[in-house]
Amino acid sequence: MWTEALAWIWLALAAFSWWPVWRQYRREIPMPPPAANFSRGISIIIPFRNEERHLPALLESIRKACRADWPVEWIFVDDASSDHSPDLIKNWQCRCPHRLLHNNTRGASPKKEALKLGIQKARYDIIITMDADTVLPEKYFEALAAVLENHKEASMIIAPVGLLMPRHHGLAEGFQHVENLFLQALTRIFALEDKPIMCNGAHLIFRRQDFERVKGYEGLPPAAGGDDMFLLVKFKKFFPGRIRYGLAENFTVRTYPENSWTGLWRQRLRWARKNPLLNDRHIRLAGLWQSLIYTGYFWTLPHPFFWLTGNLILWSASILLIHRQSQLTNDIYRKKYLILWLLLSPWIYTAINLAAWLPVKFLWKERTFDR
133 and 10: one domain?
no
Same domain, 93 and 205: yes
Residues 238, 280: Cα–Cα separation, whole Å: 13
Q: What is the pLDDT of residue 365?
A: 59
User: pLDDT-based confidence at 11, cuts 50/70/90?
Assistant: confident
Question: 209 and 233: one domain?
Answer: yes
Q: Is residue 339 part of a domain?
A: yes
Residues 241 and 140 in one domain: yes
**DSSP for 161-212?**
EEE---SS--HHHHHHHHHHHHHHHHHHHHHHTT------TTEEEEEHHHHH
Q: pLDDT for 339-362, tens place per residue? A: 999 999 999 999 999 998 887 666
Model confidence, pTM: 0.92
Predicted confidence at residue 124, as pLDDT, reads 96
Q: What is the reported pLDDT for 367? A: 56
Same domain? 17 vs 48: no
**Residue 240 belongs to domain with CATH number:** 3.90.550.10
pLDDT class of 273 with cuts at 50, 70, 90? confident
Considering the domain boundaries, does residue 271 fall inside one? no
- Whether 20 and 142 share a structural domain: no
Nearest to 134 by CA among 103, 163, 113: 163
* 52 and 12 within one domain: no
Tell me what the mean pLDDT of segment 59-81 comes to: 91
| Confidence (pLDDT) at 7 | 84
59 lies in the same domain as 153: yes
- Is 262 a member of any domain? no
Rounded percentage of the chain residues whose pLDDT exceeds 90: 66
Residues 211 and 106 reside in one and the same domain? yes
pLDDT at 68: 79
Q: Domain of 132? A: 42-159+200-248
Residue 190 inside a domain? The answer is: no
- State the pLDDT confidence band at 176, using cuts at 50, 70 and 90: very high
State how far the Cα of 218 lies from the Cα of 360, in Å rounded to an integer: 26
pLDDT at 80 over 90: no
Question: Are both 240 and 106 inside the same structural domain?
Answer: yes
Band (1; pLDDT cuts 50, 70, 90)? low
Q: Across residues 321-326, what is the average pLDDT?
A: 93
**11 lies in the same domain as 56:** no
**Same domain, residue pair 15 and 64:** no
Question: Per-residue pLDDT averaged across 237-263, rounded?
Answer: 94
- What is the per-residue pLDDT across 99-147, written as a single tens digit (0 to 9) for each? 999 988 776 678 889 999 999 999 999 999 999 999 999 999 999 999 9
pLDDT averaged over every residue in the chain: 90
In a domain, 272, yes or no: no
User: What's the average model confidence in pLDDT over 23-27?
Assistant: 73
pLDDT at residue 13 in the model: 86
Decide if 76 is inside a domain: yes
Alpha helix positions (H), the chain: 2-16, 18-26, 55-65, 85-90, 110-121, 140-150, 171-192, 208-213, 227-238, 261-274, 281-299, 304-329, 335-355
As for how many domains the chain has, the answer is: 2
Q: Which of 77-91, 95-109, 284-298, 337-351 has the lowest mean pLDDT?
A: 95-109
Q: Is the pLDDT of residue 224 over 70?
A: no
pLDDT category of residue 275 using cuts at 50, 70 and 90? confident
Q: Is residue 210 part of a domain?
A: yes
CA count, 13 A, side-chain hemisphere, 14: 25
Residue 364 lies in a domain: no
